[in-house]
A = this chain, B = another copy of it.
């Protein structure tokens, strides 16, 4: 055997080791994330204000910043058992290829048909919609992982699912669309002519290929105007980070089983769902002063919310129909360059993560996409998993950290989140394989322009 027999390649917990509660990091945060604001009045939104948009129970979770542990309902645990616990993998082959003394672990969330961690929250949101007696849910999807996850979850609970898919993705990723249809969802390219906001955007920008911010506006409009429907979202929101803590809780439990403590924890960050879920339990210990960890968010250089955005109140959508959130943002009309291939293209960032970053509890780094795909290819060839472009941002930085260890001789333990697989991203891989992928970094002038939408709000 060429590896340490004491620690297997894949650490699987048993099904009864799936966490029974989510961990709410807000309970431990000294500075709580700022509340959502009503887009019309700019006043903080409470339970009643949000009921036309979100499911009741999910609003409670959204607003609760004091309860540290929240029970996971049995029906959701039953579903989690179909694909969880997810494996925590020791990257022996990558370590060997890099010739590094670092020990690298990754928590792999891609072993389910949605191809990513998104299913962890989709099933919860579909469950509460069903429990509330709703007919269905609406949502947006960009790359398609969230839409796929929600389609699966809706099929499982027998509710309707309407997905607004960014037009460029709808056209370039017909297979993602078909997966959703196979699970019974309706998929509409956005901006569509079905909604008021869609017609407005199409009139103002003829031939537009859409953006995540537009699709959110449409999905919210349909949810609020259709009897028995609510809107659900796959990232950014506090509730989503809460659900995604199953990732971090399992990872921590698996590492503790083998007496391993990570020195560095790395996750890719778009809206923050994966990163927040992975780091929350570790962050809790860090805030409480029980342990210290370096925590690193990785974002695309073409959509650098943390590293070049502003910490301010901004609309969650392009159409300005959604609440405002206080977050690191590039401005709600920021759209990454068309040359940007991967996901992680949301203009803003989870308010929880934004606050933690603002308070100096985590770092952030941005990486360019050709280096991301080079890392993806290297990882695939030795570890056997074809990673999603999103996840490959974390791989890039994990490799960089491991190479630093090679220089210094430090035996650091690195944990990163491998959020999903890249099976539906082969157009981007093809560009990379053909040497036709380019990097793009927005100029300061461009960012300055998109910052114009930000609001100064004194609460």
Contacts and interface: CB of A to CB of B under 8 A. Distances in A.
A386 to B, nearest CB: 4
Contacts of A421: 113
A429 interface: yes
Interface string A175-213: 100110111100000000000000000000000000000
Given A15-B10, A113-B386, A381 B184 contact: yes
Contacts of A423: 115, 175, 179, 423-424
A9 B382 CA distance: 30
A93 interface: yes
B3 A429 contact: no
A81 B9 CA distance: 6
A105 to B, nearest CB: 14
Interface in A414-430: 421, 423-424, 426-427, 429-430
A61 interface: no
B386 A156 contact: no
Q: How many copies does the complex hold?
A: 2
A72 to B, nearest CB: 13
A156 B112 contact: no
A50 interface: no
Interface residues of A, number: 49
A215 to B, nearest CB: 21
A380 interface: yes
A179 B426 contact: yes
A429 B8 CA distance: 37
Contact of A113 (B2, B15, B179, B380): B380
Contacts of A9: 15, 81-82
A386 B152 CA distance: 10
A14 interface: yes
Contact of A182 (B74, B113, B182, B433): B433
Contact of A386 (B1, B81, B179, B385): B179
Contacts of A382: 155-156
A78 interface: yes
B384 A83 contact: yes
Contact of A82 (B14, B175, B383, B424): B383
Nearest to A424: B423
Contacts of A179: 386, 423, 426, 429
Contacts of A433: 178, 181-182
A174 interface: yes
B8 A14 contact: yes
A182 B179 CA distance: 23
A402 B399 CA distance: 49
Nearest to A175: B426
A426 B81 contact: no
A377 interface: yes
A169 to B, nearest CB: 14
Nearest to A115: B423
Interface in A349-394: 377, 380-386
A438 B152 CA distance: 26
B81 A384 contact: no
Q: 6 closest A-B pairs (Cβ-Cβ)?
A: A175-B426, A155-B381, A178-B426, A9-B81, A423-B423, A113-B386
